[in-house]
Amino acid sequence: MSVIDMPSLEVVQDLTRWSRLLRYDALRMISMANSGHPGGCMSMADILSCLYFHVLRVDPARPDWPDRDRFILSKGHCAPILYAALARRGFFPLEHLKTLRQIGSDLHGHPDIRTPGVDMTSGCLGQGLSAAVGMALAG
């Protein structure tokens, strides 16, 4: 799909469904953890559903595939909705979403590069752009 092509109605409906699922998952995770930033997560649902289910070239079976597209989450406090997208895309089981912010969990309050599908550990706002430029220049 080129930048000026409009997606079909079926694609829009599918992405809308993914957005709803991601919002549900993120709210459920935040509620279960009794900690998180729901507003920021909700604002990202549509773009994450579009990227992870329509645009990004990623392979959950090979999360370190060198030719994959990278996604950098600069506002790391919105990690729950990123984790929801990664789980729904198949990077790890949906059951892991119940472990947000628990001791021993791979799902921390901010993304950690050791989590399958996460391309950058983040937390400090505004660091994503410089990291993404570095990744792009490195090839």
pLDDT in tens, 64-115: 999 999 999 999 999 999 999 999 999 999 999 999 999 999 999 999 999 9
Does 98 map to a domain? yes
Q: DSSP secondary structure string, the chain?
A: --TTPPPPHHHHHHHHHHHHHHHHHHHHHHHHHT---HHHHHHHHHHHHHIIIII----TT-TT-TTS-----SSGGGHHHHHHHHHHHTSS-GGGGGGTT-TT-S--SS--TTSTT------STT-HHHHHHHHHHH-
Tally the domains of the chain: 1
CATH of the domain at 14: 3.40.50.970
Asked whether residue 4 is domain-assigned, the answer is: no
**Structure tokens that stand for 92 in this block:** 């790890």
Tell whether 77 is covered by a domain.
yes
In this predicted structure, the answer to whether residue 126 has a pLDDT above a threshold of 90 is: no
- Residue among 111, 65, 63, 117 nearest 86 (CA): 117
Examine residue 42 and state whether it is found in any structural domain, yes or no.
Answer: yes
Q: Is the pLDDT of residue 1 over 70?
A: no
* Structural domain harbouring 55: 9-61+68-138
Q: Compute and round to an integer the Cα radius of gyration of the chain.
A: 15
Task: Indicate whether 1 belongs to any domain.
Answer: no
Q: Tell me if 3 is assigned to some domain.
A: no
Greatest alpha-carbon pair distance for the chain in Å reads: 46
pTM, rounded to two decimals: 0.93
